[in-house]
Each structure stands twice: as C-alpha cells, then as structure tokens.
Amino acid sequence: MSELYKNIRRRREKLGMSQDELAGLVGYTSRTSIAKIEAGKIDLSQSKIQAFADALQTTPSILLGWTLENQDNSDSFSDISLDSSQSKRLPILGEIACGQPIYAQEDRENYVLAPFEIDADFCLRAKGESMINARILDGDLVFIRAQSKVENGEIAAVIIGDEATLKRVYYYPDQNRLMLSAENPAYPPLIYIGEELQQIKILGKAVAFQSQVK
C-alpha cells in the first residue's frame, strides 16, 4: 500500500496544500498525523481513503494506483472506483515476462488487496518493457481473470511450454496460426503455426493493473 501514501503526498503538493490544511479537511488535529501517513506509518481504513480522496479532489482508485481495462475491450485502460465495502485478497503467482518469457513460479504466500469490482482470480508482476504502450510497466501488478480463450486483440497471460508471457493475442483458426503481439515496436511478434500451438496455453485475460510509484 506504499503507493497510496506516496500518492497522497504527491497529490497534496500538486494542489499546493499544506499538511495542516489537509489535516483539517480529513479530521486530524495537526500536521503530524499527515506526515506519518505520508511516510506510510499509519494504516488508513477505506473510509479514511475516501476522505482523503474527497479532500484532494480525486478518487480513491487514483490514490491507490488502480487502473482497469475498459469494458468495450478497447486498447486503453481506465480508472476504477474503490467501493466502500471490503476488499478481497488475490494471490500473486509470480512474475510474468514483458520482454522475453520467464518461468512463472507460483508463490501463494503473497497476496494483494483488490477492490471487489476487479473480476480477477490472481495477479502476476510484469517484467520488462514490451507492454509499455499499453501502460503496463516493469514491476506493475497485472490482474488476470482465469479463462482459456480471449478475443483477438485482448491482453492475456499466456504459457509457452513451461514459460509465461503477457501479450496481445491474435488467433486465426483458418490458418491454424497464433500471434502474440507486444506493445512496444522494439519487440517483434511471436508467431506459432500448426503443431507449435500445442505448447501454447492461455492462462487468462488481463483485466486490470496496478502501477508502482517511482
């Protein structure tokens, strides 16, 4: 949740607001509490996150760093709202390559909190730069809804043999041909034909991602 506290500070500074002013707007008696929150030393409830969003003229999801794919399957990703109800835990299953595929090891000891409206079953951490034009950067968490098929042009987590990658998927059944396309012109598409398709398995569709604050 460190992104939240960094985003609170960055948003406050962007608005030219002092810590004393923000404290008054969200119900704290002094700037000391705001300083501790921005340093990540105080956990915030969802109601408090909403209060900070209101005071900073933004939304909880922007403060949390959440983004969600548009429902019309367009190329862009858009912001989502954090419901005031409870969040859910999703397992982080390991890393997924955004450059060259790497082995995706399961690590069910790690979880991330996500709003209930994110329809995902697990998440993977992006690695590399091949999806930067989709705004998915190295280190981002990508949320995956488990499904064995996706529509052409959708971003998916794909297993190739015993390795995993994140790419846009294009399947042409009349040609028995699959193309996995990067979102960076520096990376050529991966193309599989005929029997090569037997080593390919779609893990699921990428439905959301959470960017890291640098």
- Which sequence positions are flagged as catalytic? 130, 167
Strand partners, 165: 97, 158
Angstrom distance (rounded) from CA 26 to CA 56 = 10
Calculate Rg over the CA atoms of the chain.
20
In what helix (H) or strand (E) does residue 144 lie, and over which residues does it extend?
strand 141-146
Phi, psi of 74 (to 5 degrees): -75, 175
CA distances (Å), origin 9, targets 67, 119, 178, 205: 19, 29, 45, 33
